[in-house]
Structure 1
Amino acid sequence: MTEPAWTPGGSNLVVHADNAAYLPTLPDGAFTMIYVDPPFNTGRAQRRQQLSMVRNADGTGDRVGFKGMSYSTVKGMLASYDDAFEDYWDFLAPRLAEAWRLLAEDGTLYLHLDYREVHYAKVMLDSLFGRECFLNEIIWAYDYGARAKRKWPAKHDNILVYVKDPARYHFNSAEVDREPYMAPGLVTAEKAALGKLPTDVWWHTIVSPTGREKTGYPTQKPEGLLRRAVAASSREGDWVLDFFAGSGTLGAVAGKLGRRFVCVDQNPQAVEIMRRRLAPYCEPAGRSSA
């Protein structure tokens, strides 16, 4: 398999490769922003069955919909990946070291994990980047899924944000989408109309199972979440990187915001999804090396 060559003036890339092998082929300091959403080390396979409904005119379908219409359920692609590692940190640490190398001097890393490993990751990144390079821990809060009865239900992910150089990193709050004030009557009408800058707690729904964003890929992240990070930590024309790209949400957001992207994944299902999703932003020669 021949990997596509990255050049500063080249096209956006979707790369079908093991990131451990591909990342060393990229030059130092090439990316203004890197977003990493690795497997969470849950110890189980992640699966999501994609279903579609086909209207059945003769009424013999297995589901009844709006106004009593009959539908048949059609099972689509079952996407899955291995989310159990005997030594998770031996797997992740060298890839995070590559992320540090690949960041520009004004660059920012967003590492997306959950409560299982985020505290270990914080110590690791303090060592790799330096504690002074820690910028934020973002809490992505959502309200969806099962409710545990014997503990507080876990309804958030953690995103650690580190910068390459704390004196030079790029951050433009003016580009970030604003949120409504919870008590608009306590601020001026002008402020209420403008909205407030988000804090380090981001309330955002997951990708709707029936929404237009849905690709069928497990653990797909919503575009709104990535849009906020890309807008704040990169400029139009900058290069951004995701080397656990999955369904390609970073690439989709980057394309819409005028950034250039490299998305890397070794899962053939992920690459096929990205080929379709990111085709409007990729020249034919840069879509994939598969």
Structure 2
Amino acid sequence: MDVHRLGNVVIEGDNLAVIREMPDAAFRLIYLDPPFNTGRTQTRRTSTSTRVTDSGRVGFKGARYEQVVEKVTSYDDRFADYWEFLEPRLEEAWRLLSEDGTLYLHLDFREVHYAKVLLDALFGRECFLNEIVWAYDYGARSKKKWPAKHDTILVYVKDPSSYYFNSEDVDREPYMAPGLVTPEKAARGKLPTDVWWHTIVSPTGKEKTGYATQKPLGILRRIIQASSRPGDTVLDFFAGSGTTGVAASQLGRSFVLVDQNPQAIEVMRSRLPEAEFINWPDR
């Protein structure tokens, strides 16, 4: 599959089968928002496997990777099931990244601590770039614990000596105390840190599509602005409502989106009229 000739494309099908057909080092930026392991029923295989160094599949980092996977999944059987689903897809993401490429993995508090340990082993700890905290303030509040009002986005690069990053092009944030800076700085706004204060998609706002896990356009714009160049092709193979494609199109990037949920495909057809829709494997 020549992804650069596809242009703006949405592929309907199993994402693992699709991405295995894509060429090495094809993307500077990959954003993934996989289903969170919330404890609710997931439509995927849930069989626990035991990995051993001498006979198991060896990952990119060799025996060390195998040992880390074995230890973490042995600690939590529930996570072992989830990781069995996610792990091969992250291996493919590593393969698909260009040498100056960046992966953004969007998770919540239930899995992010496991995922970071495993990604350190898969990519190499030196390839960890950031842990972005997306904080929001909306919805119900628990009275039995501190309410969970953030997601985490783990950022890993293929090569820590040559990754692309351009913070100057990102949408800026207002200063929390604008009176403490010059009027010029206040008007321009400040560069974001690794804590992003951004509202969720409002249930009554114009951006809302009705898709349950839709992410705000502002979050994807910032990621794409910082870690890709105009003309690049961005990959998202848990595409959901297609926000990655909308942001990429607005910013002069192409996109390749993959999802097998019919509801997601329907939403993306309405949001991305410029896209070509392909049924996999009937391409």
Asked whether the two chains share a fold, i.e. TM above 0.5, the reply is: yes
Whole-Å Cα distance in 2 between the matches of residues 251 and 230 of structure 1? 10
- Higher relative strand content: 1
CA deviation profile, 1:151-204 (whole Å, cap 9, x unmatched): 000000000000111111111111101111112222222222221100101111
Contact 1:108 1:163 in 2 (8 A): yes
Aligned to 1:9, what secondary structure does the other structure show? helix
Whole-Å Cα distance in 2 between the matches of residues 83 and 181 of structure 1? 44
Runs of 4+ with deviation above 3 angstroms: 81-86
CA deviation profile, 1:108-148 (whole Å, cap 9, x unmatched): 10000010000000011101111111010000001111111
Q: What is the TM-score with the length of structure 2 in the denominator?
A: 0.84
Contact 1:238 1:259 in 2 (8 A): yes
CA deviation profile, 1:208-253 (whole Å, cap 9, x unmatched): 1111111111110010110000000001110110111001010111
Q: What is the TM-score with the length of structure 1 in the denominator?
A: 0.82
1:113 corresponds to? 107
1:237 corresponds to? 231
Aligned to 2:28, what secondary structure does the other structure show? strand
Whole-Å Cα distance in 1 between the matches of residues 3 and 218 of structure 2? 28
Please tell me whether residue 18 in structure 1 is matched to residue 14 in structure 2. yes
CA deviation profile, 1:84-117 (whole Å, cap 9, x unmatched): 9560001001100000000011111000001000
User: What is the CA RMSD across the aligned residues, in angstroms?
Assistant: 1.6
Please tell me whether residue 246 in structure 1 is matched to residue 224 in structure 2. no
Whole-Å Cα distance in 2 between the matches of residues 152 and 180 of structure 1? 27
Aligned to 1:98, what secondary structure does the other structure show? helix
1:101 corresponds to? 95
1:155 alignment partner, one of 146, 149, 158: 149
Higher CA-based Rg: 1
The sequence identity of aligned pairs, in percent, is 70
User: What does 1:174-189 correspond to in 2, within 5 Å?
Assistant: 174-189=168-183
Please tell me whether residue 209 in structure 1 is matched to residue 203 in structure 2. yes
Q: Which amino acid is the alignment partner of residue 42 of structure 1?
A: T
Whole-Å Cα distance in 1 between the matches of residues 141 and 244 of structure 2? 30
2:30 alignment partner, one of 28, 34, 37: 34
Whole-Å Cα distance in 2 between the matches of residues 270 and 242 of structure 1? 13
User: What does 1:75-154 correspond to in 2, within 5 Å?
Assistant: 82=43, 87-154=81-148
